[in-house]
Chains A and B, each alone.
Chain A
Amino acid sequence: EAGVVQSPRYKIIEKKQPVAFWCNPISGHNTLYWYLQNLGQGPELLIRYENEEAVDDSQLPKDRFSAERLKGVDSTLKIQPAELGDSAVYLCASSPDPDRNNEQFFGPGTRLTVL
């Protein structure tokens, strides 16, 4: 079974530029998560989707971050404009259903460097 796929794996941009990350969850997984992980820290939830609905976006900085999951499968996370402090790893995870958040499968992440 294929795992969670993320692209790109690495991205280097200059501050104030836009950037987008893509995630393809495990087939059949209705719940999708985006996390931010700073160096040496645990992942922090940015947004959680159940199918195409964002059910928890309370930690998403909405002035510059946006996300979508239009058909309830793939998802895109965007930052516009990026700031130096956005340098981090952005992880996508999925789980089979909303009541199994303890069973999350993570992708490899996208490492973003903002110069």
Chain B
Amino acid sequence: GESVGLHLPTLSVQEGDNSIINCAYSNSASDYFIWYKQESGKGPQFIIDIRSNMDKRQGQRVTVLLNKTVKHLSLQIAATQPGDSAVYFCAEIFNQGGKLIFGQGTELSVKP
């Protein structure tokens, strides 16, 4: 069936370094891809999204890259801070009225 998955379950980085979290997806017809951050005891929080007609989108300290050729999505966090420590989920949606499908999650740990 269709699925969204992550390559790495855990990622540990030094404070100040850049982080890259990867995600593979299988539904080539998905229209939106979204990154969520989930801190312990909280619900997922929207970080950034990208439509399928784009290959890059930048936010504040974050960049999402979409490679439709290999069905790959990545989240880059610049100058990673301790407050970035959380579990990051990628998610896909077929269209704006469709169901959100989440991947498994990657835990990011930032060392001071």
A-to-B contact residues, CB < 8 Å = 4, 40-45, 48, 56, 91, 93, 98-109
Q: How far is the CB of B91 from chain A (nearest CB, A)?
A: 7
Question: Given A102-B93, A108-B41, are A44 and B46 also a contact pair (CB < 8 Å)?
Answer: no
With a CB–CB cut-off of 8 A, which chain A residues contact B102? Answer: 41-44
Q: Which of chain A's residues have a CB closer than 8 A to the CB of B44?
A: 43, 91, 106
User: Which residues of the other chain, B, contact A105 by a CB distance below 8 angstroms?
Assistant: 46
Q: Do A45 and B100 touch across chains, with their CB atoms under 8 A apart? A: yes
Bound: A45/B98 CA distance, A: 11
Q: A56-B99, A99-B97, A102-B32 are in contact. List 8 more A-B contacts (CB 8 A).
A: A43-B102, A44-B102, A100-B96, A101-B99, A102-B34, A102-B100, A104-B100, A107-B43
How many angstroms between the C-alpha atoms of A108 and B43 in the bound complex? 4
Q: 5 interchain pairs (CB within 8 A)?
A: A42-B89, A42-B104, A44-B102, A93-B43, A104-B46
Select the residue from A40, A43, A44, A91 with max chain B CB neighbours within 10 A: A43
Is there an interface contact between B46 and A103, defined as CB atoms closer than 8 Å? yes
Give the size range of B's interface with the partner: 20 to 34
Contact B96 A102 (CB under 8 A): yes
Query: CB-CB < 8 A to B100: which residues of A?
Result: 45, 101-102, 104
Shortest Cβ distance from A2 into chain B, in angstroms? 14
Within 8 A of A (CB), among B8-61: 9, 32, 34, 41-46, 49
Selected contact of B96 from candidates A42, A91, A99, A109, CB within 8 Å? A99
**A43 shortest CB reach to chain B, Å:** 5
Q: How far is the CA of A103 from the CA of B44 in the complex (A)?
A: 12
Query: A40-B105, A44-B102 in contact; A98/B42 too (CB < 8 A)?
Result: no
For B103, give the chain A residue with the smallest CB separation. A42
**A13 smallest CB distance to B (angstroms):** 20
Residues of A within 8 A of B103 (CB): 42
